[in-house]
Amino acid sequence: QVQLVESGGGLVQAGGSLRLSCAASISIFDFNAMGWFRQAPGKQREFIAGIMRGGDTNYADSVKDRFKISRDNAKNSVYLQMNSLKPEDTAVYFCTADIYGGIRVSGGDYWGRGTQVTVSP
């Protein structure tokens, strides 16, 4: 019954920025952890960024200092601000959430359908 819906993907030139949104159908305070994974063509899905109920955040080394995860409890939404985008950031980006545990290892209990991000040279 829980739904996560991503938005904000698109085509951008290298060096540009995009802001992804993930809107949940329930209060995001019900989740212990939320975050973002991505999957590039021919590659496995990888962890990108996570945020815990208490506010702690974590990032993959590949996006550290370029991406920032945040949340707005009033809007039941989590965001991923992506700056200084590179062609290797091209992937489908998925929102995920877990009720009791974390999401870094393999994602959470719930997943969105993904939003495409394409970065041209």
Q: What are phi and psi of 115, to 5 degrees?
A: -135, 135
Residue 110: pLDDT band by 50, 70, 90 thresholds? very high
Q: Is it the case that residue 15 has pLDDT exceeding 90?
A: yes
SS3 percent helix, strand, coil of the chain, rounded to 5, is 5, 50, 45
Mean pLDDT of 55-65: 97
Nearest CA-CA partner of 71 in 95, 46, 104: 95
Percentage of residues in the chain having pLDDT higher than 70: 100
Residues 6+ apart with CB under 8 A from 55: none
